[in-house]
């Protein structure tokens, strides 16, 4: 693991801990009893199981932190298997500038641009 990757990993681990804490707080503060109970369920399970539990129980789009939590966990998982820094679409190396801006980024500039255009077209 090179020094940049190690720095990204530390940054992502720190962000992951904060995201988990904030996400749990968001669920607990919900007036919805089901969502509040989900927070209690998460507290009884290891954090690495949370995404699977949440995906089965709620609509993830209701919770903005959930999307970021998934991206950060995905980036850390990619580090574990030696795939960090490679585009999820074309498998080319992600530009260092993009990783510097956001170590959890999943796409190179070209594929990111295509994905944004595609999403814009679908919204119209």
* pLDDT per residue rounded down to tens, the chain (124 residues): 588 899 999 999 999 999 999 999 999 998 989 988 999 999 999 998 998 888 878 777 788 898 899 999 999 999 999 999 999 999 999 999 999 999 999 999 999 999 998 878 787 7
Q: Are residues 11 and 66 in the same domain?
A: yes
Q: Are residues 92 and 57 in the same domain?
A: no
The count of structural domains within the chain is 2
CA diameter of the chain? 46
Q: Are residues 6 and 65 in the same domain?
A: yes
Q: Are residues 89 and 116 in the same domain?
A: yes
Q: Are residues 37 and 92 in the same domain?
A: no
Q: Are residues 77 and 90 in the same domain?
A: no
Residues β-bridged to residue 93: 86
Kindly report the number of other CB atoms within 10 A of residue 39's CB atom: 16
Distance between CA atoms of residues 12 and 106, nearest Å: 14
Q: Are residues 96 and 58 in the same domain?
A: no
- Domain extent at residue 30: 1-84
Confidence (pTM)? 0.86
Q: Are residues 98 and 80 in the same domain?
A: no
């Amino acid at each position: 693991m090179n020094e940049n990757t190690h720095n990204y990993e530390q940054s992502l681990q720190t962000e992951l801990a904060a995201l988990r804490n904030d996400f749990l707080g968001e669920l607990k503060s919900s007036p919805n009893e089901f969502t509040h109970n989900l927070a209690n369920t998460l507290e009884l399970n290891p954090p690495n199981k949370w995404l699977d539990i949440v995906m089965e129980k709620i609509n993830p789009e209701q919770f903005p932190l959930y999307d970021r939590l998934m991206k950060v966990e995905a980036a850390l998982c990619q580090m574990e298997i030696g795939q960090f820094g490679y585009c999820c679409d074309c498998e080319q190396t992600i530009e260092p500038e993009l990783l510097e801006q956001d170590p959890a980024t999943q796409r190179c500039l070209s594929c990111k641009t295509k994905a944004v255009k595609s999403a814009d077209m679908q919204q119209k």
